[in-house]
Amino acid sequence: MRDILVAGNWKMNGNSAANAELVAGIIAGVPQGSGFSLLVCPPYPYLAAVVAQTEGSAVSVGSQNVSEHEKGAFTGEVAPGMLRDLGCTYAIVGHSERRAIYGETSAQVAAKFQAAQAAGITPILCVGETLEEREAGTTESVVDEQLDAVLDVAGIDALATAVIAYEPVWAIGTGMTASPEQAQDVHRHIRGRLEALNANIAAGVQILYGGSMKGENAAGLLAKPDIDGGLIGGASLKAEDFLAIAAAAAQN
Ligand code: PGA
């Protein structure tokens, strides 16, 4: 059975004092049980402090983005080796906000995915369709293009040390969660596509759901066979809300 991963994407929120309080609250309330793990992804400037605060706890730390380059003249960018050096174990790549606001292409996301892995960081590859794409019936082809960009350069074996997050863009930050059935359909499609390449790897890869996941809807989503956790934005900013999702994971 796959473990559940509950990952908080803080986006561009927080400050030193608020983060310290949030992390202390999460650590104090980690539910009893096994078969799940917790991850927080703070903004870059706070990574070192959060790594220090979570040391020895059940909470891991990841970044929200990563450069596709190893080092050099890339002003403002952060290299995967630097993140590893700080103690990050995961990096989100291809979040829809990166794709839509900063113009990241699927090819660039694939390069980030590979660069993260080369530095020993587990990439969390985000895929997902917009509302227009869903209404046009192209959800699967959109997700396929985003997934294939990575598979084409990294190969199926790379998915053995990666996480996928299905995040329908229309559900992110909108309060409009995909129903467990809608999410399961796409998760099943993604796993099926991987199965065609390598059944063992497909069976092991964690596929998270993201998009207005919260305490009230987490149990229903996590009960689905191909949903292995959540990538949580808004509800990861309060310890109580994040822990409600963690509790659903612990009971799953
Ligand atoms: P949300 O964000 O939970 O606020 O919808 C999820 C995400 O963007 O990862």
Neighbours of 9 (CB within 10 A): 27
Q: Give 153-193 pLDDT, tens digit per residue.
A: 999 999 999 999 999 999 999 988 999 999 999 999 999 99
What mean pLDDT is reported for the chain? 97
- Given a cut of 90, is residue 213 above it in pLDDT? yes
CA of 65 to the centre of ligand 1 (A): 15
CA distance 216 to 245: 8
CATH of the domain at 148: 3.20.20.70
Probe ligand 1: pick from 212, 236, 237, max atoms within 8 Å of CB? 212
Query: Which protein residue has the closest C-alpha to ligand 1 atom 3?
Result: 233
Residue 230 and residue 7: Cα distance in Å, rounded? 6
Angle between helices 180-195 and 215-222 (to 10 degrees): 40
Atom of ligand 1 nearest to the CA of 171: 5
**3 inside domain:** no
- What pLDDT score does 1 carry? 73
Reported as a pLDDT band with limits 50, 70 and 90, residue 17 is very high
- Residue 169's nearest CA partner among 135, 198, 201 is 135
Distance of CA 71 to the CA centre of its chain: 24
- Residue 218: inside a domain: yes
Average pLDDT over every residue of 104-108: 98
- Give the Å distance between the CA of 210 and the centre of ligand 1: 6
Distances (CA, A) of 3 to 158, 171, 222: 19, 24, 11
**Domain-embedded: residue 60:** no
Look at residue 180 in the predicted model and tell me its pLDDT: 98
Q: Residue 174 CA: which ligand 1 atom is closest?
A: 5
Active site residue 95: yes
Q: Ligand 1, atom 6: nearest CA belongs to which residue?
A: 233
> Residues of the chain with pLDDT > 90: what percent?
98
pLDDT of residue 220: 98
Domain that holds residue 167: 65-233
The total number of structural domains that make up the chain: 1
Instruction: Give the side-chain half-sphere CA count within 13 A for 91.
Output: 31
CA distance linking residue 238 with residue 242, whole number of Å: 6
Q: Out of 97, 129, 167, 187, which one is annotated catalytic?
A: 167
- Give the C-alpha separation, 147 to 109, whole Å: 10
Q: For 212-239, what is the mean pLDDT? A: 98
Q: Is residue 33 part of a domain?
A: no
Helical axes 180-195 vs 139-154, angle rounded to 10°: 40
**Residues in contact with 219: Cβ distance below 8 Å, sequence separation at least 6, in sequence order:** 248, 251, 252
Domain annotation covers residue 227? yes
